[in-house]
């Protein structure tokens, strides 16, 4: 019975240890425990000796020399830096693929609004899945690096190849926070441009008057714009989409506002403003059928609807002009800082 207690204790310790060290530690531990006890110990004495050794799990833990953590201080920095680098790209690529897929597979059988909502929800689900995958695999890889490094004796894993010297400081570009362009901004710019391009070329089944049916579904009544007129400007729009994507890439590479970037930004957005005015002032832009429809709906005359629409146009145009100018001024202000 008394010996049994010691046996069980030793078993409790060694079962938590690597196979090849078990026998040796078991033998050593048993003789060490027996050393502290008299020839024929009472159960109380055995218990006292064992409680002095403490929790078998803790004792086993102090025998083990593999680290009790997944990612230790040696690789932690590299791990975090890698994640910071990879996660924005993973999110961006996921969003991009889903939007591209929706465009390619768009058949017109469903309304664009429906497809957009569907795409949006699948994007959220996919981004979460991708994040889980990215976190899992990178954590796994860094765990392996951690374990391998622990065996070698643990040099700090650094992302640069050589040792640090004060001369390295000369190559570092300090970016003040107010001047910086975040990755999120760049990714958002990308997605924003593509989304608007998509809306533009599908305006005939997306931008229009909707009426809610009795069943709660949205019924597309008629488009606001003449798709033919919109389509006739396709060259300008494609050119601006490409320019805007290029600008987003430039911003991403630059990482901060410079005078040159602010200038390019001003030129592209200034031209965009001109293009907007040109397109917006095309007399055939609006779907003509909309005016009588609205007049009937609001129980008023066609001329007052036309007037109201003209006012709305002026407000939208003014808002567009003001926001563009403010954006340009803001970019120059940041570049000058």
- When asked if residue 152 is in the footprint of another protein (CB under 8 A), the reply is no
Site for another protein in 164-183 (CB under 8 A): none
- Per the DSSP assignment, residues forming a β-bridge with 218 are 212
User: In angstroms, rounded to a whole number, what is the distance separating the alpha carbons of residues 57 and 12?
Assistant: 7
- Out of 18, 54, 176, 270, the only residue in the binding site for another protein (CB under 8 A) is 54
- Out of 27, 140, 141, 218, the only residue in the binding site for another protein (CB under 8 A) is 27
| 327 and 172 Cβ atoms separated by less than 8 Å | no
Of the candidate spans 20-28, 181-189, 275-283, 291-299, the one that interacts with another protein by CB under 8 A turns out to be 20-28
- Out of 63, 120, 196, 220, the only residue in the binding site for another protein (CB under 8 A) is 63
> Half-sphere exposure of 231 toward its Cβ, with a 13 Å CA cutoff?
6
- When asked if residue 46 is in the footprint of another protein (CB under 8 A), the reply is no
Q: What are phi and psi of 45, to 5 degrees?
A: -65, -40
Of the candidate spans 27-35, 70-78, 168-176, 297-305, the one that interacts with another protein by CB under 8 A turns out to be 27-35
DSSP SS3 for 100: helix
Of the candidate spans 47-55, 114-122, 234-242, 268-276, the one that interacts with another protein by CB under 8 A turns out to be 47-55
What's the CA dihedral at 236, 240, 246, 248 to 10 degrees?
Answer: -170
- The nearest distance, CB 53 to another protein, in angstroms, is 5
- The nearest distance, CB 127 to another protein, in angstroms, is 43
Separation of first and last alpha carbons in the chain? 81
Of the candidate spans 46-54, 230-238, 260-268, 297-305, the one that interacts with another protein by CB under 8 A turns out to be 46-54
- Out of 5, 25, 131, 294, the only residue in the binding site for another protein (CB under 8 A) is 25
Which residues contact residue 56 at a Cβ distance below 8 angstroms, ignoring those fewer than 6 apart?
9, 12, 13, 16
- The nearest distance, CB 331 to another protein, in angstroms, is 51
- Out of 6, 10, 46, 59, the only residue in the binding site for another protein (CB under 8 A) is 59
Of the candidate spans 51-59, 191-199, 295-303, 316-324, the one that interacts with another protein by CB under 8 A turns out to be 51-59
> Could you give the C-alpha distances from 122 to 66, 129, 130, in angstroms and in order?
42, 10, 12
- The nearest distance, CB 128 to another protein, in angstroms, is 41
- The nearest distance, CB 56 to another protein, in angstroms, is 9
Number of residues that bind another protein (CB under 8 A): 17
Nearer of residues 24 and 43 to another protein, judged by Cβ: 24
Instruction: Residue 194: name the closest of 98, 114, 107 by CA.
Output: 98
Cite the beta strand spans of 188-297 per DSSP E.
208-212, 218-223
Q: Which two tokens stand for residue 330?
A: 């803001």
DSSP SS3 for 86: helix
Count of beta carbons in the 10 Å neighbourhood of residue 221: 13
Give ∠ CA 330-332-337 in degrees, rounded to 5. 95
Q: Given the structure tokens 């065996």, which residue do they identify?
A: 151
- The binding site for another protein (CB under 8 A) comprises 25, 27-29, 31-32, 34-36, 52-54, 58-59, 62-63, 65
């Amino acid at each position: 019975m008394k010996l049994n207690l010691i046996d069980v204790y030793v078993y409790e310790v060694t079962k938590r240890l690597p196979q090849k060290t078990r026998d040796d530690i078991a033998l050593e531990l048993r003789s060490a425990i027996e050393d502290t006890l008299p020839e024929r110990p009472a159960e109380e004495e055995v218990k006292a000796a064992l409680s002095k050794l403490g929790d078998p799990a803790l004792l086993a833990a102090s025998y083990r020399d593999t680290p009790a953590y997944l990612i230790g201080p040696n690789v932690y920095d590299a791990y975090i830096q890698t994640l910071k680098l990879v996660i924005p790209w993973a999110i961006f690529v996921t969003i991009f693929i889903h939007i591209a897929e929706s465009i390619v597979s768009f058949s017109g059988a469903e309304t664009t609004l429906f497809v957009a909502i569907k795409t949006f929800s699948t994007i959220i689900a996919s981004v979460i899945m991708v994040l889980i995958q990215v976190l899992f695999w990178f954590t796994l890889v860094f765990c392996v690096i951690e374990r391998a490094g622990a065996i070698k004796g643990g040099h700090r894993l650094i992302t640069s190849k050589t040792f640090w010297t004060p001369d390295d400081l000369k190559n570092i570009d300090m970016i003040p926070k107010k001047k910086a362009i975040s990755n999120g901004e760049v990714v958002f710019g990308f997605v924003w441009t593509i989304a608007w391009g998509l809306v533009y070329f599908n305006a005939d089944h997306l931008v229009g008057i909707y009426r809610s049916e009795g069943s709660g579904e949205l019924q597309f009544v008629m488009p606001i714009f003449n798709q033919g007129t919109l389509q006739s400007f396709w060259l300008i729009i494609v050119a601006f989409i490409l320019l805007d994507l290029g600008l987003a890439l430039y911003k991403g590479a630059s990482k901060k506002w410079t005078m040159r970037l602010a200038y390019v930004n001003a030129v592209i957005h200034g031209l965009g403003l001109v293009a907007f005015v040109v397109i917006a002032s095309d007399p055939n832009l609006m779907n003509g059928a909309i005016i009588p429809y609205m007049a009937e709906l609001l129980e008023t005359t066609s001329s007052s609807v036309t007037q109201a629409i003209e006012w709305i146009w002026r407000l939208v145009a003014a808002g567009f002009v003001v926001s563009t100018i403010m954006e340009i001024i803001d970019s120059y202000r940041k570049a000058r800082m």
